[in-house]
A and B are shown apart, each in its own frame.
Chain A
């Protein structure tokens, strides 16, 4: 077995199972040999059933021999007779090549082996699965609750969970978790510092448990869950057709709403086999890129805020440019933040009348953009102090980034050429002319550069969409295909679909049970995985670098905690 050589996943020149037409799952099954005890068919990929004790071995085999180096998500769920953990694997080089690893666990005592040895990102994902579903992972280094308080009774996504049950917590355990500040420890050279949950630089309610050695961060442990709103369960209670679509707006609520909506639209449309008219695809592409610009503007502005320290010029400039984008989106969708614009099989409505006015406004904005970006580059990226602060700080090596499942600008800032808009095409992206931006710096500076350049690329996309929309024949402007009033996908179909959201790979897993509501709705948040890299980036660096690194990750706690 290749357990001895986990550092070079691409040692094998030709990964097993790759043919000219894509993946040969039979070859993968042969590769796993005795490890695979069964095979399931999901809409997005085949999945192999693996015994609870063989998880790590199976994942390492797939990673090293077959090149599945990206553990995108872990979904845990409960069936009548068993619990199940599904590891959704894919490749950074070729994300359309996917495979699932299904690990059943006993109904009474759900225990399965942890995947930590294969992918470091499994750490948090397994903690979440344990927290919400109650599957226990053996050999997990730190299997604590992650989203709910440590004193929580029961696992909320279990079928027998009683929502009415009062959470009775003894006073002793209810003690303020922030109170214990390690001051009593004698002979300690370090200082324990709570950064957050209320702190100017945590971008929301994030709590970092930091241990400082002087000004140097010796250890940092992000504590999340303060903004957990049971989004997965809320989505499981809504019907496919209309009731789920408003929720994605509330995950990454920093004006990235349509990007998130698209993820649900993509998953549900593939699940129910719905077509989307081409005209609607162009509208989706345009509006999604507008969201991306707005989100990246805020990211650049708040990152500058973290490095500059006050509400400085660059922050306000970025807010202004975001504001202009939001005005456009308001014209288009009627909303400034919670757009609720996409529908299954199309979009809610066509461009606002008069169309020329909308086109003109959009073009004006895009024409001004290069000048604005020039100013950003003058103000931040070419400032020597800014470079001093950001270059070679918060370093995230590509290998670590992959192991943590980092995606989006964070991965692209580490030189990983991975963008689902190009690699796993959807919408109208394949027809348009644009580039994927990567930077090899692996540091805070590279991540800022990636975001600023991506704004330019998004502007290119919007421009092309506007041209297309302007010339679109009036009789062919179909914004919505025929969709049954009540969607009831086939029972026991499973799908995992991802899109490139503002922060990275946003994924949704849906299992249907033949009703109009999903039986399991799992969200793969890019921020959740990206935030996991923070200790890797900031341990051994100074507090200001920790803050800068956190800012460069561009997390939104609404999406981390869901």
Chain B
């Protein structure tokens, strides 16, 4: 095994819509480009939904059970996998209860905004084997921009639900996202200094070289190895960004019932739940791309490696959820503004100095 990875499959250079267009033999033109883009997005979205269905409904149960010494679902089909079907039917057939006095359009739109914003982020993620819908020059900035739209959805949900627990949850979510997105982006910026580009494929490409060779095994120059400090910072900030322990205070089930999603039921609840999981996976995708060499890895196809890395980040969040207590809102803000922000700027400046000296 070496770091001389199958770079051909990493970045084919052609975005997925173009490949689909040539595959289907569609001619040039805005209409056909649009059709190809819709097909490409559908493919990616469907794959993601499948991943969320497996990990969110079945995997989460199994993982939590493993952490807590239980068995979890094992009667629905092999390994309990049919629970996915059962849960889907159950959730979709529940009554949608609209509480008195909710602010209707906002209350309805909020779950869609949240789910949509997380899905949008995947448009620029290079997942290997040519699975990338678009590769704009400002890819990394775009991901963070669309991912933060979710905060708007959270506030909408919290404010329009006509429920005080929702309101508290919504306000907590804003405070939390403000405190943690800045360190998150600043830390990612330190990687941009290394890579010299915001383009996602460029960042992945910059990590393909071998950093050092130990006993014939090449360690790739993934930014997690090049700058482990930034990696740790980013992982921590990401936990807050996706709202998992110790930073799950916008939901905080034992304190404010379920926070902003208290009043959502049935399909809307599914959307909320879905958006949370897609968000976790988007966080995983960003970490994989920016710090873990994207789809790089030996033997297996790039897309498999990419999914493995995403799921690894997901497992990390589940581990934190099972083992780490929740901080209090004031402590969270303090950690964010007084700790993470300072550290992330220090990291940025140091990186800039080092890069400036070595180049």
Contacts and interface: CB of A to CB of B under 8 A. Distances in A.
Given A200-B253, A389-B328, 16 more contacts: A215-B168, A215-B329, A309-B253, A310-B245, A310-B248, A310-B321, A310-B322, A312-B67, A312-B323, A315-B68, A320-B69, A385-B246, A385-B326, A544-B255, A544-B326, A544-B328
Contacts of B308: none
A328 interface: no
Interface string A308-322: 111111011100100
Contacts of A276: none
B346 interface: no
Given A310-B245, A388-B331, A547 B325 contact: no
A313 B63 CA distance: 11
B248 A313 contact: no
Interface in A186-233: 191, 193, 199-201, 215
Contacts of B67: 312-313
A389 B69 CA distance: 26
Given A309-B245, A310-B253, A312-B321, A317 B68 contact: yes
A388 B64 CA distance: 25
A193 B325 CA distance: 24
Interface string B315-345: 0000001111111111100000000000000
Interface in B290-321: 321
Contacts, number: 88
A545 interface: yes
A379 interface: yes
B68 A308 contact: no
B38 interface: no
B254 interface: yes
A305 B321 CA distance: 12
Interface in B127-173: 164-165, 168
A482 interface: no
A310 B255 CA distance: 11
B164 A193 contact: yes
A309 B326 contact: yes
Interface string B224-254: 0000000000000000000001101101111
A205 to B, nearest CB: 15
A253 interface: no
A417 interface: no
B245 to A, nearest CB: 6
A50 interface: no
B64 A307 contact: no
Interface of B: 64, 67-70, 164-165, 168, 245-246, 248-249, 251-257, 321-331
A385 B330 CA distance: 13
A543 interface: yes
Given A306-B254, A313-B68, A317-B69, A542 B329 contact: yes
Nearest to B256: A543
A316 B254 contact: no
A316 B325 contact: no
A545 B249 CA distance: 13
Contacts of B254: 200-201, 305-306, 309, 547
B248 A309 contact: yes
6 contacts: A308-B325, A316-B69, A380-B325, A385-B246, A542-B328, A545-B328
Nearest to A316: B68
A109 interface: no
B328 A201 contact: no
B257 A200 contact: yes
Given A306-B254, A308-B245, A312-B322, A388 B68 contact: no
A385 B248 CA distance: 13
